[in-house]
């Protein structure tokens, strides 16, 4: 079931600049007409004539053959598609080769026009989280350059007005955004999507929400609403993301739920206590752990009579009653606690707690933590613990009807606040979600072992005996959980019982060891060297396991070629049921080279066609995703995954 009114965006253009003035051409193109015996292959051209515009942009789709250029059509192969095509080589006014695949490639990247609508399955009406935008095609938006120059700080010019102290200049630029550009795309007069128009519309629609919401980018969070505690001074805020997208017939605004971790607005002292409860002093490694979160965080102080914000440099090790400083007025050395008592008439309630250094770093400004408050609305961009991530997933997982109500409610507020301003720019917003047609296809049938088959129901299925299975003849159990918490014999019996139902035969494990996580790599290596035929290892992980242990296990697997399967002890014990063991065995059988089930194509003409054209020969389907690492997260090398997750507060 798939129905998306949004149109995919195209690739960005090349950023390279030409090395000399002149019209930019494709990579490797020459600004002078080539000789008659020039080959289409850019590599061969380079040997005969170097191009002054080699870095004039990023180009693909070059012709990859070596036929002579003539005025007759030639057989050429596109490096993008591998399809043989009849092309006639042509040149533009500057002598550059006109790429024969440019138009077709650009169309594929920028706009994918629907050729037909599906007829298989059952037709249904679908609600989307897209909202229509009607625009005035004659509207033009001009861009101006604004510069603000403060001649002198206003406090030094008490006899001057603000107009005299601040110089503001507004200059027009040549940049102009015209809504008629999107009309040309819809009339198929051009394939260039006006991305600057979409960015401009995002700015217009987001201007008013930024006044009342906590926002970053295109994400908006209402203050003090939909907040849940994640522990360790971190909260989960629920808000919305709003972005303008090009639809197939008009502009659309897409609104969806957004869940992000924020630092709790609280006294800095309470933040320290939430990380390390009831601690009055901290070791160096604990200070480092806290600083991973505090560095760059904004705090506010009010002891000077007016609120003032500072950005944290670091939490220091020495407490306020021992950290000495020199009073600039008297030149006397004293502690931070004594300084605040003498000069600010403030007696610290927690002088044994450390101080924070704030910017600017070169001025050595130190503040007691009990006088600092973490400013509201600051995102936590550091790594979260597994428990916190699990809480986020649990909170954000909602039934479709609940999620729809939340999105509709957020859309009415966001669109309502932006409506009048958007109207001034020729944009009329609708707060009613779009409805489109979708189709429910027939669920596939899955073939299992012994001739059994199962039809998926509601996206779920469960068979018994797997298609082909592998036996575990030489395997072991490494437990990082203690003996009083984990019984390996019961674990083996549970696996064997469920494995018998699924077709996997288990022999008794050849090795069972309790290993401390600190000595895991060394002890595991010794055991593997003693048992050369060891083919599989179940590694039992204790609750609240950090990523370092998992990385060590996989490092061992890569180094010695022994397949491993990690099992969380709490998952096995607390959620013990046949389905849990079944899921473990499905992974085990796949890792050993077995086949759990196969798609059956003898169901419908559509399934038969898919089986013939997609799976008619060996094929591997790969799912790809993009991971945006946390700011403090280092990408782990394949062979050295023991990097420390330095900022997990748990």
How many residues belong to the chain? 650
Average pLDDT over residues 96-108: 43
Of the listed ranges 162-166, 402-406, 579-583, the least confidently predicted one is: 162-166
Q: What is the pLDDT of residue 164?
A: 57
The topology under which CATH files domain 268-374 is paz domain (2.170.260)
Q: In what order do the strands lie in the sheet with 563-568?
A: 511-514, 475-479, 536-541, 563-568
d(CA 36, CA 151): 64
Q: What is the pLDDT of residue 21?
A: 36
Question: Residue 411 — very low, low, confident or very high, per pLDDT cuts 50/70/90?
Answer: very high
pTM over 0.85? The answer is no
Q: What is the pLDDT of residue 532?
A: 86
Q: Is the pLDDT of residue 352 over 70?
A: yes
Q: What is the pLDDT of residue 377?
A: 94
Q: Where is mean pLDDT largest: 161-170, 238-247, 319-328, 379-388? A: 238-247
pLDDT tens sequence across 421-463: 999 999 999 999 999 999 988 888 888 888 888 888 877 888 7
pLDDT tens sequence across 3-33: 444 333 333 333 333 333 333 333 333 333 3
CATH of domain 464-613: 3.40.50.2300
Average pLDDT over residues 46-64: 35
How high is the mean pLDDT of the chain? 77
Average pLDDT over residues 87-104: 48
Q: Is the pLDDT of residue 38 over 80?
A: no
Question: Residue 155 — very low, low, confident or very high, per pLDDT cuts 50/70/90?
Answer: low
Q: Where is mean pLDDT largest: 161-170, 414-423, 593-602? A: 414-423
pLDDT tens sequence across 610-642: 777 777 777 788 887 765 554 444 444 433 333
Q: Is the pLDDT of residue 44 over 80?
A: no
Q: What is the pLDDT of residue 580?
A: 85
Q: What is the pLDDT of residue 191?
A: 81
pLDDT tens sequence across 232-268: 999 999 999 999 998 878 899 999 999 999 999 999 9
Q: What is the pLDDT of residue 112?
A: 59
Q: Where are the beta strands (DSSP E) in 103-139?
A: 122-127, 130-135
Question: Residue 348 — very low, low, confident or very high, per pLDDT cuts 50/70/90?
Answer: very high
Q: Where are the domains of the chain?
A: 1-112, 268-374, 464-613
User: 159 versus 321: which is more confidently predicted?
Assistant: 321
Reference 295, options 359, 350, 363; nearest CA is 359
pLDDT tens sequence across 293-314: 999 999 999 888 788 999 999 9
pLDDT tens sequence across 567-606: 988 888 876 677 888 889 999 999 999 999 888 877 667 6
Average pLDDT over residues 334-360: 93
Q: Is the pLDDT of residue 168 over 70?
A: yes
User: 546 versus 229: which is more confidently predicted?
Assistant: 229
Question: Residue 42 — very low, low, confident or very high, per pLDDT cuts 50/70/90?
Answer: very low
Please state, as a whole number, how many other Cβ atoms lie within 10 Å of the Cβ of residue 313. 19
Q: What is the pLDDT of residue 41?
A: 35
Q: Where is mean pLDDT largest: 87-101, 221-235, 545-559? A: 221-235
Are 447 and 453 in contact by the 8 Å Cβ rule? The answer is: yes
Helix, strand, or coil here: 66? coil
Of the listed ranges 1-5, 197-201, 287-291, 478-482, the least confidently predicted one is: 1-5
Question: CA torsion angle for 199, 204, 206, 209 (degrees, to 10)?
Answer: 180
Q: What percent of the chain has pLDDT over 70?
A: 75
CA distances from 44 to 51, 102, 263, 516 (A): 12, 21, 59, 62
Q: What is the pLDDT of residue 71?
A: 37
pLDDT tens sequence across 176-195: 889 998 988 888 888 888 88
Are 129 and 408 in contact by the 8 Å Cβ rule? The answer is: no
Average pLDDT over residues 322-335: 87
Of the listed ranges 41-45, 450-454, 526-530, 606-610, the least confidently predicted one is: 41-45
Reference 495, options 475, 481, 515; nearest CA is 475
Q: What is the pLDDT of residue 576?
A: 65
d(CA 87, CA 77): 10
Q: Is omega for the bond preceding 386 within 30 degrees of 0, making it cis? A: no
Question: Residue 69 — very low, low, confident or very high, per pLDDT cuts 50/70/90?
Answer: very low
pLDDT tens sequence across 376-399: 999 998 888 878 998 999 999 999
How far is C-alpha 374 from the geometric centre of its chain's CA atoms?
26
Identify the sign of the CA torsion 221, 225, 226, 231.
Answer: positive
Please state, as a whole number, how many other Cβ atoms lie within 10 Å of the Cβ of residue 551. 17
CATH topology identical between 268-374 and 464-613: no
Helix, strand, or coil here: 369? helix
d(CA 282, CA 571): 34
CA distances from 80 to 42, 128, 501, 628 (A): 16, 34, 48, 28
């Amino acid at each position: 079931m798939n129905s998306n009114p949004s149109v995919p965006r195209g690739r960005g253009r090349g950023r390279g600049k030409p090395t000399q003035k002149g019209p930019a051409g494709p990579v490797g193109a020459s600004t002078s007409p080539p000789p008659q015996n020039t080959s289409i292959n850019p590599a061969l051209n380079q040997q005969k004539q170097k191009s002054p515009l080699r870095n004039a942009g990023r180009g693909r789709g070059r012709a990859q053959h070596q036929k002579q250029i003539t005025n007759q059509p030639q057989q050429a192969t596109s490096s993008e598609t591998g399809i043989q095509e009849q092309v006639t080589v042509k040149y533009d006014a500057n002598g550059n080769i006109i790429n024969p695949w440019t138009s077709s490639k650009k169309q594929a990247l920028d706009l994918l026009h629907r050729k037909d609508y599906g007829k298989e399955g059952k037709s249904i009406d679908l609600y989307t989280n897209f909202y229509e935008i009607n625009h005035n095609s004659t509207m033009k938006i001009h861009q101006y350059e604004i510069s603000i120059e403060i001649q002198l700080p206003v406090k030094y010019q008490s006899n001057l007005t603000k107009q005299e102290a601040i110089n503001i200049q507004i200059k027009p630029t040549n940049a102009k955004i015209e809504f008629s550009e999107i009309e040309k795309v819809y009339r198929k007069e051009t394939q260039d999507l006006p991305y600057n128009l979409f960015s401009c519309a995002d700015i217009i629609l987001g201007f008013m929400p930024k006044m009342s919401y906590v926002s970053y980018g295109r994400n908006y969070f209402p203050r003090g609403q939909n907040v849940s505690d994640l522990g360790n001074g971190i909260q989960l805020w629920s808000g919305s993301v709003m972005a303008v997208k090009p639809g197939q017939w008009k502009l659309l605004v897409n609104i969806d739920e957004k869940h992000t971790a924020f630092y709790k607005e609280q006294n800095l002292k309470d933040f320290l206590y939430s990380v390390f409860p009831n601690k009055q002093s901290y070791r160096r490694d604990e200070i480092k752990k806290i600083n991973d979160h505090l560095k760059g965080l904004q705090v506010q102080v009010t002891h000077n009579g007016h609120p003032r914000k500072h950005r944290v440099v670091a939490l220091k090790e020495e407490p306020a009653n021992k950290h000495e400083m020199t009073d600039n007025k008297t030149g006397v050395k004293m502690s931070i606690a004594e300084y605040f008592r003498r000069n600010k008439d403030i007696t610290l309630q927690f002088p044994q707690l450390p101080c924070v250094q704030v910017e600017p770093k070169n001025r050595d400004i130190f503040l007691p933590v009990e006088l600092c408050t973490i400013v509201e609305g600051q995102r936590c961009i550091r790594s979260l613990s597994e428990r916190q991530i699990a809480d986020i997933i649990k909170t954000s997982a909602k039934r479709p009807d609940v999620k729809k109500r939340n999105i509709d409610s957020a859309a009415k507020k966001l669109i309502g606040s932006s409506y009048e301003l958007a109207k001034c720019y020729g944009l009329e917003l609708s707060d009613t979600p779009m409805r489109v047609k979708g189709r429910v296809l027939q669920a596939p049938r899955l073939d299992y072992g012994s001739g059994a088959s199962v039809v998926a129901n509601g996206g779920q299925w469960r068979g018994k005996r797997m298609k082909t299975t592998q036996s575990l003849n030489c395997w072991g159990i490494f437990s990082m959980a203690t003996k009083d918490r984990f019984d390996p014999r019961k674990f083996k019996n549970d696996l064997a019982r469920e494995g018998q139902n699924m077709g996997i035969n288990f022999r008794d494990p050849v090795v069972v060891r309790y290993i401390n996580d600190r000595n895991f790599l060394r002890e595991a290596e010794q055991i593997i060297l003693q048992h050369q035929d060891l083919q599989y290892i179940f590694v039992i992980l204790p609750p609240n396991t950090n990523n370092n242990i998992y990385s060590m296990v996989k490092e061992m697997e890569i180094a010695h070629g022994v397949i491993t399967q990690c099992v969380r002890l709490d998952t096995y014990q607390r959620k013990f049921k046949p389905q849990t063991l079944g899921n473990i065995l499905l992974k085990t059988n796949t890792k050993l080279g077995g086949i759990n089930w196969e798609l059956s194509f003898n169901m419908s003409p559509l399934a038969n066609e898919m089986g013939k054209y997609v799976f008619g020969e060996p094929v591997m389907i790969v799912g790809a995703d993009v991971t945006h690492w946390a700011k403090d997260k280092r990408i782990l090398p394949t062979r050295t995954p023991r990097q420390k997750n330095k900022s997990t507060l748990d």
